[in-house]
Copies of this chain bind each other. A is one copy, B any other.
Amino acid sequence: MTIYDISEKAGVSIATVSRVLNGSSNVSEKTRRKVLDIIEQYQYAPNAFARGLGLNTMKTIGILCADSSDLYLAKAIYHVERKLQAGGYDSILCCTGYELASKITSMNLLITKKVDGLILVGSNFIYEKESDNKYIVEAAAQVPVMLLNADLDAPNVYSVVSDDFTSMYEATIQMVETGIQDIVYYYNSDSYSGKRKLAGYRAAMNEKKLLSGQRIQFYRGSREDIPAMTEHLKRLHAQGLAFHGVIAADDTLALAAVKYARAMNYRIPDDFSILGYNNSMLAECCEPELTSIDNKLEILCQHLITTLLGVLDGREMPKKTIFSGEIVRRRTTRRIEPVVS
């Protein structure tokens, strides 16, 4: 069933059918009716390839993501995908893993497939070495590239980020002000946002004259292996590092800290405070429930898609947008002590 069949049955030319299909205004109501009837009757659907050939677009956006099973990334993908759909676009998803080479491969593949835009979900797409980010610049020469929680200043690439620096800075200040001085910063990623978070912690501790390199601890190992993280913390303690607070760059790490504190028989939050990041489902699963920073993922995604659709529409759009996060207080941090005068 092609456009020819329809045109024949409707007694019009294929051009008219095409016009009806594409909602062109220049077609009389009568003809439109007739054509639509036939289309309905024969369940005709235009061939996407042919249409793509003609229009040179398929209304499809490529989504790249290192690991769609990561709690946070999965949520991001979900929001992005739904909002994209609402905007009339489809999405091709590529899970790339964390290695640069396979990111490049996937990206090229998507461009070859003629996606209209690219969304890179997660800050792990930006690398420390400037030259490693060339692949994004090159891609942006072909299609607009959107970065979620990452930042790169280049033509045709747009960034939507949450203000991780400030969130961490404020959360750290607050934890110190509840009376905790020996806070370990626990993280597992040197990504763009990872670095911003750490910087926030650093700035705050520095301001409070409490900064200590020893207390900045990196976890290498599986992102899901809570027991391994817990062990790691126990080892730090065994090695003589004293700490009564953990600020974690991710809720999983914070969860491990909770397990550690419980194993040590600390009372939470009286003896030991913990702050998580991302305000994921884990925060509520935790016992006691985790105070965590919410970076308003859905809002970020909404904005990202709005921007992308704007760009695709040929409009001028902001190159970088920053949203501030929010500390969601639950039961692993203390209230600020009222000042006794």
Q: Which residues of A contact B (CB under 8 A)?
A: 45-50, 52-53, 56, 58, 60, 63, 67-69, 71, 74-75, 77-78, 81-82, 85, 90-95, 97, 106, 108-109, 112-114, 224-227, 252, 255, 258-259, 262, 281-282, 284-287
Contacts and interface: CB of A to CB of B under 8 A. Distances in A.
A129 B202 CA distance: 59
A47, A48, A71, A285: which has the most chain B beta carbons within 10 Å?
Answer: A285
A85, A227, A252: which has the most chain B beta carbons within 10 Å?
Answer: A85
7 contacts: A45-B112, A49-B114, A60-B113, A69-B77, A90-B92, A90-B113, A252-B281
Contacts of A85: 94-95, 106
A74 B81 contact: no
B95 A90 contact: no
A63, A71, A74, A94: which has the most chain B beta carbons within 10 Å?
Answer: A74
B78 A95 contact: yes
B74 A285 contact: no
Q: Tell me whether chain A's interface is mostly helix, strand or loop, or mixed.
A: helix
Given A71-B71, A113-B58, A81 B95 contact: yes
Given A52-B52, A82-B95, A114 B47 contact: yes
A30 to B, nearest CB: 27
Nearest to A289: B227
